[in-house]
């Protein structure tokens, strides 16, 4: 399921391949991928224009088409494919460019959304999205979580607090910060808050950088050990499965407290 690092990679891919080419035609192959916008309105809003820049906020991607923006959310299985001949199997929307190339937004399971919006900043306010962790400073992070309650994992996943962290990177951040997922936020020490903040950003930046090179997550990351009873790659303890914030959670019983 795409979280911030994966969407950042899509944003870079989009920017590398699909900018400054006139959109000759917009094909909506499956209307279920569209948000509130109707097919004809969506196509008319983008046809004849060109994408000039890409923005990402949390798990949302926005592409400027001059006065109107394409908004993409990748749901569980969203992906982009820039191609000349063979369209991706689950293409739901395709932009045909003047130069004969195409950009497909593909999504097998259809939990993603393609939409047009007027202004990403207004969208971010309307959906009450918190700041993006890569734009965040420690002092602001402290302010955001002050007076909050509940499990630390829930807080990291709340898009209105910070935008872009999902189940996998919330678990990874807590695993590497040695904090138990259920630890109440108001019981974190000042030093632990700093550790969570720096660890979260380091993980996100590391994964983006490795994805760019075509590398997988580092071997000692929890993501490779998400299995009940697995051996903790950090301390040799036992990985357990639980449910936090309604989501399957993996953590180490020994080093996460």
Residues known to be catalytic: 2-3, 59, 247
Q: Is 27 near Zn ion (CB under 5 A)? A: no
Q: Is 168 near Zn ion (CB under 5 A)? A: no
Closest contact distance (angstroms) between CB of 33 and Zn ion is: 41
- Maximum Cα–Cα distance for the chain, whole Å? 58
In terms of CB distance, is 94 or 232 closer to Zn ion? 232
Q: What is the C-alpha separation between 164 and 167, in angstroms, rounded? A: 10
Q: Are 108 and 84 within 8 A, CB to CB?
A: no
Neighbours of 197 (CB within 10 A): 22
Q: Is 162 near Zn ion (CB under 5 A)? A: no
Q: Is 180 near Zn ion (CB under 5 A)? A: no
Q: Is 174 near Zn ion (CB under 5 A)? A: no
In this chain, which of 98, 160, 235, 248 binds Zn ion, going by CB under 5 A?
A: 235
Q: Is 254 near Zn ion (CB under 5 A)? A: yes
Phi, psi for residue 178 in degrees, rounded to 5: 60, 35
Q: Is 207 near Zn ion (CB under 5 A)? A: no
- Region of 131-139, 179-187, 195-203, 234-242 interacting with Zn ion (CB under 5 A): 234-242
Q: Are 136 and 105 within 8 A, CB to CB?
A: no
In this chain, which of 11, 157, 193, 232 binds Zn ion, going by CB under 5 A?
A: 232
What residues contact residue 228 under an 8 Å CB cut-off, 6+ apart?
A: 239, 240, 241, 250
User: How big is the site for Zn ion, counted in residues (CB under 5 A)?
Assistant: 7
Helix 4-17 × helix 190-213 angle, to 10°: 40
Q: Is 138 near Zn ion (CB under 5 A)? A: no
In terms of CB distance, is 168 or 222 closer to Zn ion? 222
Strand 102-107 relative to strand 69-73, pairing: unpaired
User: Which chain residues interact with Zn ion by CB under 5 A?
Assistant: 232, 234-235, 237, 252, 254-255
């Amino acid at each position: 399921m795409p979280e911030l690092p994966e969407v950042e990679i899509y944003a870079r891919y989009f920017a590398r391949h699909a900018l400054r080419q006139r959109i000759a035609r917009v094909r909506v192959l499956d209307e279920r991928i569209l948000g509130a916008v109707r097919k004809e309105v969506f196509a008319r809003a983008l046809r004849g224009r060109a994408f000039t820049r890409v923005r990402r906020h949390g798990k949302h991607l926005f592409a400027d088409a001059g006065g109107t923006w394409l908004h993409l959310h990748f749901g569980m299985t969203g992906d982009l494919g820039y191609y000349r001949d063979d369209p991706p199997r689950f293409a739901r929307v395709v932009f045909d460019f003047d130069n004969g190339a195409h950009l497909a937004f593909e999504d097998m399971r259809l939990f993603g959304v393609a939409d047009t919006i007027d202004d990403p900043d207004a969208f971010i306010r309307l959906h009450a999205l918190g700041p993006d962790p890569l734009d965040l400073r420690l002092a602001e992070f402290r302010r955001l979580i002050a007076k909050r309650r509940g499990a630390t994992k829930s807080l990291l996943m709340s898009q209105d607090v910070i935008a872009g962290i999902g189940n996998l990177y919330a678990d990874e951040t807590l695993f590497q910060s040695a904090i138990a997922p259920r630890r109440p936020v108001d019981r974190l020490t000042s030093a632990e808050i700093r550790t969570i903040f720096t660890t979260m950003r380091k993980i996100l930046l590391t994964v983006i950088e490795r994805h760019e090179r075509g590398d997988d997550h580092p071997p000692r990351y929890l993501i490779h050990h998400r299995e009940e009873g697995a051996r903790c790659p950090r301390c040799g303890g036992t990985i357990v499965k639980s449910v936090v914030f309604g989501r399957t959670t993996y953590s180490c019983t020994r080093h996460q407290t």
